[in-house]
């Protein structure tokens, strides 16, 4: 089958927004369709802190770099027949890090990881969840070892630095699984939004958390997830819980850093996305999680995590999206509509 060229938004080398460098538009030759592949016309994608951090650190031979790790689109071509899918289907997908990301009009994805999107699931809402829900499921049920069934778990989860779509997805999955959830925010975050996601208690990140929890009636914490490992200050509260809680440090990207304590569990989002699509088992796993996402939405057990939306795939809009995420703590997760 003939290869296709797609317009994509990318960059040649890592950069910070304050530098005199921006996203640019490129013509990208897409890979040839293999047996299980689909060509998808991108309709909407999710952008979060993961995107902004990779933009500042990525390196290697895959240039231009085209970010984007999932979203919603329409199947336009198929490498082979698929009993679940057809050309014209609107689908939800997650993909790995690499040269052929979702900041593009078209993308090649493995059809075994794709799920058909019900007509009543809004495109922007589904795109917002995509890889945030995928990562949240892995964190809550695989990394913390909880049972992925409704109300089958007990205990209290403390989430530090809760602000973006990943944090909102973790809250909702933890509550669905039966946990009590306490979330901390800094002074610039929206307490109302975090409570709406389902948190039982929202505390200021600057408070003495152990004391505040005790005053609120939480005698113990069983699990702790730190969602901001970029700042040394974010580790100050961990010592108060390390004797009794299972502590997970979440890193968006994998870069060398001083380990705070070897007893803490570490999870790297970038590595996990890459590894998930390196095997048939990982591909099957990703599809099952997307199927759960759709099931929970249809059962009205999920609330929207969409915080902002921009329209139009352009270098200007992608730059603006990254700037909004980096500079406004209440818009660290948004959707771009193509």
> Of the candidates 237, 269, 301, which is a domain's last residue?
269
The answer to whether 33 and 1 are in contact (CB under 8 A) is yes
| Of the candidate ranges 118-132, 294-308, 316-330, the one whose mean pLDDT is the lowest | 316-330
> Of the candidates 240, 269, 298, which is a domain's last residue?
269
Do 253 and 291 fall within a single domain? Answer: no
Query: Cα 259 from chain centroid?
Result: 24
Strongest mean pLDDT among 54-58, 147-151, 188-192: 147-151
* Predicted confidence (pLDDT) per residue in 234-255, tens digit: 677 788 888 889 999 998 887 6
* Tokens describing residue 325: 């995420």
Do 126 and 19 fall within a single domain? Answer: yes
What global pTM score does this model have? 0.93
| Of the candidate ranges 4-18, 182-196, 214-228, 298-312, the one whose mean pLDDT is the lowest | 182-196
Do 96 and 155 fall within a single domain? Answer: no
Do 205 and 246 fall within a single domain? Answer: yes
Do 28 and 153 fall within a single domain? Answer: no
> Of the candidates 238, 269, 300, which is a domain's last residue?
269
**Angle in degrees, CA 28, 36, 30, rounded to 5:** 5
* Predicted confidence (pLDDT) per residue in 162-205, tens digit: 878 899 999 999 999 999 999 988 776 778 888 999 999 998 87
Q: Can you tell me whether residue 248 is helix, strand or coil?
A: strand
* Predicted confidence (pLDDT) per residue in 38-47, tens digit: 999 999 999 9
Q: Can you tell me whether residue 230 is helix, strand or coil?
A: coil
Do 224 and 295 fall within a single domain? Answer: no
Q: What CATH number is given to the structural domain containing 317?
A: 3.90.180.10
Do 80 and 152 fall within a single domain? Answer: no
Q: How many domains does the chain have?
A: 2
Do 122 and 154 fall within a single domain? Answer: no
Higher pLDDT, 333 or 199: 199
In the prediction, which pLDDT does 253 show? 85
* Predicted confidence (pLDDT) per residue in 201-228, tens digit: 998 877 788 888 888 888 889 999 998 7
Do 291 and 265 fall within a single domain? Answer: no
Full residue range of the structural domain in which residue 76 is found: 4-131+272-337
Do 258 and 145 fall within a single domain? Answer: yes
Do 119 and 137 fall within a single domain? Answer: no
Q: What CATH number is given to the structural domain containing 263?
A: 3.40.50.720
Do 236 and 298 fall within a single domain? Answer: no
**Angle in degrees, CA 16, 314, 318, rounded to 5:** 30
Is the predicted pLDDT of residue 256 greater than 70, yes or no? no
């Amino acid at each position: 089958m003939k290869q296709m060229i797609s317009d994509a938004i990318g960059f040649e080398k890592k950069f910070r927004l304050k530098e005199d460098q921006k996203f640019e538009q490129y013509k990208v030759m897409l890979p040839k369709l293999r047996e299980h592949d689909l060509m998808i016309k991108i309709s909407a994608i999710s952008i979060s802190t993961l995107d902004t951090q990779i933009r500042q650190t990525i390196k290697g031979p895959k240039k231009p770099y085209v970010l984007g790790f999932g979203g919603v689109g329409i199947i336009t071509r198929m490498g082979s027949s698929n009993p679940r899918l057809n050309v014209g289907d609107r689908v939800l997908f997650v993909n790995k890090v690499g040269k052929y990301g979702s900041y593009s009009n078209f993308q090649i994805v493995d059809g075994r990881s794709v799920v058909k999107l019900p007509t009543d699931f809004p495109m922007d809402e589904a795109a917002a969840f995509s890889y945030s829900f995928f990562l949240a499921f892995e964190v809550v049920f695989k990394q913390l070892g909880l049972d992925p069934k409704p109300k089958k778990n007990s205990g209290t989860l403390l989430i530090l630095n809760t602000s973006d779509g990943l944090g909102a997805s973790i809250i909702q999955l933890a509550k669905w699984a039966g946990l009590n959830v306490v979330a901390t925010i800094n002074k610039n975050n929206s307490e109302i939004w975090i409570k709406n996601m389902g948190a039982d208690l929202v505390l200021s990140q600057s408070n003495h958390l152990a004391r505040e929890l005790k005053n609120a009636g939480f005698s113990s914490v069983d699990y702790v997830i730190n969602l901001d490992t970029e700042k040394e200050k974010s580790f100050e509260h961990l010592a108060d819980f390390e004797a009794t809680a299972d502590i997970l440090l979440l890193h968006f990207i994998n870069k060398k850093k001083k380990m705070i304590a070897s007893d803490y569990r570490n999870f790297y989002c970038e590595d996990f996305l890459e590894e998930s699509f390196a095997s048939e088992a990982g591909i099957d796993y990703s599809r099952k999680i997307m199927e759960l996402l759709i099931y929970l939405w249809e059962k009205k057990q999920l609330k929207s995590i969409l915080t902002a939306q921009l329209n139009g795939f352009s270098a200007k809009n992608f730059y603006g999206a990254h700037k909004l995420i980096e500079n406004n703590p209440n818009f660290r997760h948004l959707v771009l509509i193509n």
